[in-house]
Chain A
Amino acid sequence: MRNGPLLAVNDLHVTFGRGERAVHAVRGASFEVAAGETVSLVGESGSGKSVSALSILRLLPSASTARSTGSVLFRGRELMSAPPAELRRIRGNRIAMVFQEPMTSLNPLHSIEKQVTEVMLVHKGLRPAAARRRAIELLERVGLPDPERRLGALPQELSGGQRQRVMIAMALANEPDLLIADEPTTSVDVTVEAQIIQLVKGLQAQLGMALLWITHDLAIVRKISDRVYVMHDGEIKESGTPTEIFERPRHPYTRHLLAAQPRGRSSASRPHAPTVMRVENLRVWFPVKAGLLRRTVDHVKAVDGVSLIIREGETVGVVGESGSGKTTLGLAMLRLIRSRGAIYFQDRDIAAMRASALRPLRCQMQVVFQDPFSSLSPRLTVAQIISEGLFAHGRATEVEQQVSDALLDVGLTPEMKDRYPHEFSGGQRQRIAIARALVLKPKFIVLDEPTSALDMSVQAQIIDLLRALQERHHVAYMLVTHDLKVVRALAHHIVVMRYGAIVEQGPADRVLDQPQEPYTRALMAAAFDLEASDPALVAT
């Protein structure tokens, strides 16, 4: 069997639940991974790609809730019927996995040393001292700075990127033949994402292992894979080399997926439009308290001296990595959190205004949040959600008509108004959230990562909708996002933030095409070309 594929999955079916409620998550998926090859499994959420990966190692919950049939051959050995002892010998040893969320996949109670050496103690029977030496070597290899000192650290003392490096070190500890990476870069920043991809590809070349990369991100797929499988509704729709898939997609779903990338550019900028929102030297400092009397000893400067201007009908894109203070800035501008500095909304200083004086102005500045599942109250109907603001501002005349108009405005139908949020898809829910903001005819909307929680094919629709609404109503947007593709499609003006301060700002074309600051350049390279930059320049 030496010359067969390393891993061959044949006609895999996975079903959750029983009877009428059964969910057929994977329906007859077949794919192969040859030794030393990089294979991508790409699909949107709910396509069954992660479930397929988990069932390779039989890591799904117990047989009572999930049933899988089919065949999984690893080096010609059937894993579906393998006894538990044999499976344990393969897991973490011959086949290793890296998961999406580095925070929850590391045990917060154990030190890095304990977690990295565990696999070696279990599988190789190394003595603790030898395992420790090997752990340091591995952590050096995955580029964790100062590994000897970090051995005693707990996972929460490391950054997201560092934790993901530790996860990779653990996976590589026994030099596996196959590494399954389940969206390993989804929850890290773009610059870190580029570093992780570079690291894994480098290690793959050194160790000659095969890589099964599960992702929803087409840019990564194109960058790294030798072969691609496109998955949808639990079935493999199409497979081939990246060139075949991207240049000559045969299946309609693949074509749909490729067409769904955020596209288009914002309308022409209007430099003489009146200013809607202006902030000067805005600061949000969270006190750090210590000691018996909880005295303030220091501040976390989430936003530190930011000044910017937003004009009518324009979009200002605020980009930055997580922790750069961009969301905090948005909330502070709406006075949803306490801040210092001046905030002028239509030339009125709202920073010092009393809450009661501010309330009538609230209808003119609105917000749309990232997660459409948590931003709509599950107990209210769509009509109740959308009309809430109308009642709050005493504009409750012809409510039905206003709600219907708002629904039509965002591409939904008025018949939907008596339904509850859970009956809608993520994209539809985000449309409802936009309708809730729009019904008050605001002048200014903060869009806090409006597309990040959505599937990629829906992202493009929401972006098109936002652009159309801006042209129709001349609303000013402040677009907070980490996704530079979204910014490119919507923003007139870009503000790059880091550590709570503005690194660079200017017209969108200039910032995107000729970034001045080294940090901006690194961000652009990571986002558009997945090229890692000097670690000194960006966070790790």
Chain B
Amino acid sequence: MASRASTLGIAISPLSRRRIESFKANRRGYWSLRVFLVLFGVSLLAELIANDKPLLVRYRGRWYAPVVRVYAETQFGGFFRTEADYRDPEVVRLIEAEGGRMIWPPIRFSYDTHNKDLPPGVAAPSPPSAENWLGTDDQARDVAARLIYGFRISLLFGLILTALGTVIGVAAGAVQGYFGGWIDLLLQRFIEIWSAVPQLFLLIILASVVQPSFWWLLGLLLLFRWMSLVAVVRAEFLRARNFDYVRAARALGVRDRLIIWRHVLPNAMVATLTFVPFNLTGSVTLLTSLDLLGLGLPPGSPSLGEMLNQGHANPQAPWLGMSAFVTLSVMLALLVFVGEALRDAFDPYKTAA
């Protein structure tokens, strides 16, 4: 097995190895991927970076972790049985009176924390200050905290939507391309009709019937999003099913499912993979624009689109629009650079040499 290259127990074919090398050789794409992964990793830990609860509380010789567990105010000697509001000066006084300590995250606001202690004479939206690094929005919520959470929710939404859409799209394209005939004809006509359904109207109607949650929105967009890849995958399958090695596999008596999985799908995946980063940017932009229109995530959610909307409504507070704009453009630019590098790495004319 010496000649067989493997990494972490996964066999890497020489072709993939060449593609990985080609991807790494594209410095802009490779750096974009690293920066993107760091940003995404950091945003996944948003609760530890921007939160209105301290990371740790030392009280009467015991450690408390309010970020992960809920403690009633009474546990710190307060009156209310509700969860302690650690920003409340009364709670702070109670804890410090017992010689306790609180270790805070760098940003002492969560995405939905209203800053009730704006300096006198400053109205929300308040400009950037030592406390609110990027200012606050029109409800006195910290912009920096909302950006971190908004970045995360946009990306998670985009990733889930793209992943599910890719799985459905590849499956539909594979069935059409491999079997052809009536299945292909019917599915093609269905897609033509289905793609003519106006998504925006459906969303408006939905918004008036139910309060669109994250999953509602995801499901609804998924109904339409899967179609973007079908054409590519179908074409690849139509091409590949006439390859000699697919014919040879049929002559060997291999089952259709296995032929699709082992011989045809890997070919189609190359074309698909190059589209995925662009699909991801599309999904992120879609969510942002729906939020901007007020048709997206429920009110109060940290969303870049909602922040853009606030920036539009409050031209006297440029930090709102600018913050959302810069975050969005950096994220999309990084994804596009990664996508370009990926596309070039999979280009047979560039890697063949």
Contact = CB atoms under 8 A, between A and B. Distances in A.
B15 A378 contact: yes
Contact of A377 (B245, B250, B253): B245
Interface in B9-34: 13-15
Interface stretch (B254-262, B298-306, B321-329): B254-262
B21 to A, nearest CB: 13
A410 to B, nearest CB: 15
B168 to A, nearest CB: 24
Interface in A372-413: 374-381, 388-389, 392-393
A261 B283 CA distance: 61
B193 to A, nearest CB: 20
Contacts of A374: 243-245
Contacts of A2: none
A422 interface: yes
Contact of B253 (A362, A371, A418, A419): A362
A181 interface: no
Given A17-B353, A420-B13, A433-B248, A381 B4 contact: yes
A359 interface: yes
B252 A436 contact: yes
Q: Is the interface of B mostly helix, strand, loop or mixed?
A: helix
B262 A367 contact: no
B255 A392 contact: yes
A334 interface: yes
B263 A377 contact: yes
Contacts of A370: 244
Contacts of A21: 353
Given A392-B258, A418-B3, A418-B4, A367 B247 contact: yes
Given A388-B254, A389-B254, A379 B249 contact: no
Find the residue from B14, B251, B262, B263 having the highest chain A CB count within 10 A: B251
A371 B245 CA distance: 10
B246 to A, nearest CB: 8
Nearest to B263: A377
B209 interface: no
A392 B250 CA distance: 10
B266 interface: yes
Interface in B236-287: 243-245, 247-255, 258, 262-263, 266
Nearest to B258: A392
A374 B254 CA distance: 18
B248 A380 contact: no
Contact of A436 (B14, B248, B253, B255): B248
Given A375-B245, A379-B13, A334 B262 contact: no
A345 to B, nearest CB: 13
Nearest to B14: A420
A376 to B, nearest CB: 6
A95 B31 CA distance: 52
A17 B352 CA distance: 12
A17 B353 CA distance: 9
A374 B15 CA distance: 16
Find the residue from B245, B262, B266 having the highest chain A CB count within 10 A: B245
A388 B249 contact: yes
A367 B353 contact: no
A371 B248 CA distance: 12
B253 A363 contact: yes
A369 interface: yes
A536 interface: no
Given A377-B262, A419-B3, A420-B13, A393 B245 contact: no
Contacts of B197: none
A336 B253 contact: no
B261 to A, nearest CB: 12
B8 interface: no
B1 interface: yes
Contact of A362 (B13, B251, B258, B266): B251
Contact of B248 (A369, A393, A419): A369
A358 to B, nearest CB: 8
B253 A392 contact: yes
A392 B13 CA distance: 23
A440 B251 CA distance: 11
B346 to A, nearest CB: 13
Nearest to A368: B248
Given A360-B253, A363-B252, A440-B252, A336 B247 contact: yes
Contact of A389 (B1, B3, B253, B255): B253
A62 to B, nearest CB: 15
A286 to B, nearest CB: 14
Contact of A388 (B13, B243, B244, B252): B252
Interface in A411-448: 418-420, 422-423, 433, 436, 440
Contacts of A331: 247
B252 A392 contact: yes
A476 B95 CA distance: 92
A505 interface: no
Contact of B252 (A389, A418, A422): A389
A366 interface: yes
A446 B251 CA distance: 10
A387 to B, nearest CB: 10
Contacts of A376: 245
B290 to A, nearest CB: 40
Nearest to B247: A336
Contacts of B252: 362-363, 366, 388-389, 392, 436, 440
A369 B249 CA distance: 12
Given A389-B252, A440-B252, A375 B14 contact: no
Find the residue from B1, B244, B258, B263 having the highest chain A CB count within 10 A: B244
Contacts of B245: 374-377
Contacts of A366: 251-252
Contacts of B1: 418
Nearest to A65: B353
Contacts of A367: 247-248, 251
Find the residue from A363, A380, A388, A422 having the highest chain B CB count within 10 A: A388
Contacts of A418: 1, 3-4
Interface string A335-375: 01000000000000000000000111011011101110011
A357 B254 CA distance: 13
B321 to A, nearest CB: 46
A375 B244 contact: yes
Nearest to B252: A389
A422 B263 CA distance: 16
A378 B244 CA distance: 12
A362 B253 CA distance: 5
Nearest to A419: B3
A440 B249 CA distance: 13
Nearest to A376: B245
Contacts of A378: 13, 15
A433 B249 CA distance: 11
Interface in A267-322: none
A366 B252 CA distance: 7
A276 B46 CA distance: 72
Nearest to B256: A355
A371 B244 contact: yes
A388 B252 CA distance: 8
7 contacts: A366-B251, A366-B252, A375-B243, A420-B13, A420-B14, A433-B248, A440-B252
The 3 closest A-B pairs by CB, nearest first: A362-B253, A375-B244, A389-B252
Given A418-B1, A419-B3, 15 more contacts: A336-B250, A336-B251, A359-B255, A360-B253, A362-B252, A367-B247, A367-B248, A371-B244, A374-B244, A377-B262, A378-B13, A418-B3, A420-B13, A420-B14, A436-B252
Interface of B: 1, 3-4, 13-15, 243-245, 247-255, 258, 262-263, 266, 353
